[in-house]
Structure 1
Amino acid sequence: MASSNIPHFKNDQGVPVIHIGSKEFQCIGATPPQDHPHIFLDMGDAEEILCPYCSTLYKYDEDLGPTTTRPVGCFHED
C-alpha cells in the first residue's frame, strides 16, 4: 500500500498547533477509537495546513524529523 510510508499524526492533547517535520502526512484526529476519517494532507509549497475534520493546524518545521512532533507524542504508530 502506498500510504504505508506516510506518517500519521494525532492530537490526543487537544493542542491548537502541532509542528511536524513532514509536508505530506495523514491526520487521524485522535488515537482510535476516537479518531476521525484518516485524511491525507499535503502542504505543497505552504508551511502550514489546517485539518478540515479536527481543525488542528499543522506547521512544517524543517528542523524536525519526519516522525518528530512538537509537542512530543503526536506521531501515531500503528
Structure 2
Amino acid sequence: MAGAVVPHFTNDLGIARVRIGAREFMCIGARPPFDHPHVFLDMGDENEKICPYCSTLYVYDASLDAHAADPAACVYEPALAAE
C-alpha cells in the first residue's frame, strides 16, 4: 500500500452528486485554500457515500478508472512530497 495513492476528489462545482471509480477515497471539499479537512471515506459494500463535511454524494461507477470522476473537474491531484 505504500506505493499506492488514494484518489482525491473535490467539489468546486457545488453539484449534489459526483460519480467516481473508487470505493475508498479522500474528499477535500473545494480546492485549497477553501478546502475542508481532508477526510478518508470508504463505501464498503455500498455504491454511494455522503461526505460528512460538504454533503457531496459520491456514487461508485465501475466503468470509471479508480482515479477518475464524472465530472472530470472533480478529480484533485495533491502535490507529492519531494523525495
What SS class does the counterpart of residue 35 from structure 2 fall into?
coil
Structure 2 equivalent of residue 31 of structure 1: 31
Question: Residue deviations 1:36-77, cap 9 Å, x none?
Answer: 000000000000000000000000000000111111211101
What SS class does the counterpart of residue 73 from structure 1 fall into?
helix
Structure 1 equivalent of residue 75 of structure 2: 75
Where do 5+ consecutive residues of structure 1 fail to align? none
What SS class does the counterpart of residue 72 from structure 2 fall into?
coil
* Matching residue's letter, 1:36: H
Structure 2 equivalent of residue 64 of structure 1: 64
* Matching residue's letter, 2:5: N
Question: Residue deviations 1:9-45, cap 9 Å, x none?
Answer: 0000000000000000000001000000000000000
Structure 2 equivalent of residue 52 of structure 1: 52
Structure 1 equivalent of residue 8 of structure 2: 8
Note the aligned Cα RMSD (angstroms): 1.6
Task: With the length of structure 1 as denominator, give the TM-score of the two structures.
Answer: 0.94
> Could you say which structure has the larger radius of gyration?
2
Task: With the length of structure 2 as denominator, give the TM-score of the two structures.
Answer: 0.88
Where do 5+ consecutive residues of structure 2 fail to align? 79-83
What SS class does the counterpart of residue 22 from structure 2 fall into?
coil
